[in-house]
Amino acid sequence: MKNRLAEVSALGQSPWYDTIARDQIQQGTFQRLIEQDAIVGVTSNPSLFQKAMTTGSAYDEQFRDLAAQQLDALSIYQIMANQDIQNVLAIFRPVYDRTHGIDGYVSLEVSPLLAYETQKTIDEAKQLWAHLHQPNLCIKIPGIAQGIPALEACIAEGINVNVTLIFSLAAYEQVILAYLSGLEKLAASGTKPLHQVASVASFFISRVDTLVDHLLEEKIAATVDVKQQQQMRLLKGKAAIANAKLAYQLYRSYFVAGPKSERFKLLQAQGAQVQRPLWASTGTKNPAYRDVVYVEELIGSQTVNTMPPTTIVAFQDHGRVAATVEQGVAAAQQVMLDLDRVGIAMTEVTDQLEKEGVATFKTAFEDLLQKLDDKRRALAQQQANKGDQSAEKAAQSDGHSGEVAGANISSSMTAAENLAKS
């Protein structure tokens, strides 16, 4: 069978797997992905853990053990999630070693409840890094205003970072600058060789089309001008890929060629790695679009594409492999101009998506904790009920024994009285 993802790897893009679940660890899924699908990394997020931990029975045994220790829901989640991450880190460590630290990474997100608190994000990132203590761990930090200083601080400490929830070129540029500043601080401190620190910038794709297409539909419905309607229809499904192609050009300007790249070149001479763009949210949500379009259109050197299981299967089956991320850059710029012309402000779009992204992960995490807490309480109640039933049975047994003993004593006394009379 043709291994299309191996061909993608040959073009310089690293395919990663955007799912983590204990049953997949137990079934050997990750090892098969490495061997059969050229997968060289894994990403997780609160929504994925929510789905994994609240369906099926893979976590039940450990959950019961932890609940019996009177741990709260957050502690139970952390222990179970950390165990999953530890296991997957071990599976991908040979990939990390084989690629000399380019790939083999497994990402774990700081609590989304801390997204808008910079210092708490830094503190949790340090705790996770120290606890899991593996060189192929990536700590996920949101690429929002409060996350940018946390990124810089973590890189300066030698902590690998996956910067998540990037939607706009402006935010992406701030992420790049923070990465460079962090590397410069690390180089000045001399506490860790620069080549041992890695970072990826997760630029979200399909969500952009979902929102822009919705806005275009509203505008199409609001106008009677047939020509304008047609122009707007032609823009549907174009924004996300155009946005990503322009992001890749921004990456090149800072890390590959041009005046802005001089800053990184000095760090590269000391061993620093580029901060690769990672295409996230690449599963196609609109059934009207090709199911692998967000893979096919964004293949290129020094990039990562993290894909959900269905997208991996689909691409291996019928994906088209070509170096595409640098094709159609002028057309991508024109798409942005055309969107602005019809009244779609991309800054407003990306601001909304950023807020929604943080809120979605926060809601998923809160829902997960609530479900774990409900389950913990239900187990505690079951144990209490069993205890009550055992006590009741014991009491009944004691009562019956007392009755028997009383009857025996009465019988003995009657026998003694009869003997005395005789």
User: Does residue 15 contact residue 276 with C-beta atoms inside 8 Å?
Assistant: no
User: Does residue 130 contact residue 159 with C-beta atoms inside 8 Å?
Assistant: no
DSSP state of 418: H
Count Cβ atoms within 10 A of the Cβ of residue 60 and give its class: 0-12 exposed, 13-18 middle, 19 or more buried: exposed
Count Cβ atoms within 10 A of the Cβ of residue 62 and give its class: 0-12 exposed, 13-18 middle, 19 or more buried: middle
Query: Which residues, 6 or more positions from 70, have their beta carbon under 8 angstroms from its beta carbon?
Result: none
User: Does residue 264 contact residue 272 with C-beta atoms inside 8 Å?
Assistant: yes
CA atoms within 13 A on the CB side of 63: 24
Supply the DSSP string of 289-356, one letter for each residue: S-TTHHHHTT--TTEEEEE-HHHHHHHHHH------TTTTHHHHHHHHHHHHHTT--HHHHHHHHHHH
Supply the DSSP string of 253-291, one letter for each residue: HHHTSSGGGHHHHHHHTTTPPP-EEEEE--S---TTS-T
Q: Which residues are catalytic?
A: 140
* Pair of tokens at residue 347: 């800054």
Question: What would you measure as the largest C-alpha separation in the chain, in angstroms?
Answer: 125
Query: Which residues, 6 or more positions from 91, have their beta carbon under 8 angstroms from its beta carbon?
Result: 25, 30, 31, 34
Distance CA 44, CA 204 (A): 14
Phi, psi (deg, nearest 5) at residue 51 = -65, -45
Taking each helix axis from N to C terminus, what angle separates 118-132 and 147-156, rounded to the nearest 10 degrees?
A: 40
* Pair of tokens at residue 392: 């009741």
Question: CB atoms < 10 A from the CB of 57, how many?
Answer: 9
Question: CB atoms < 10 A from the CB of 381, how many?
Answer: 10
Bridge partners for 141 per DSSP = 163
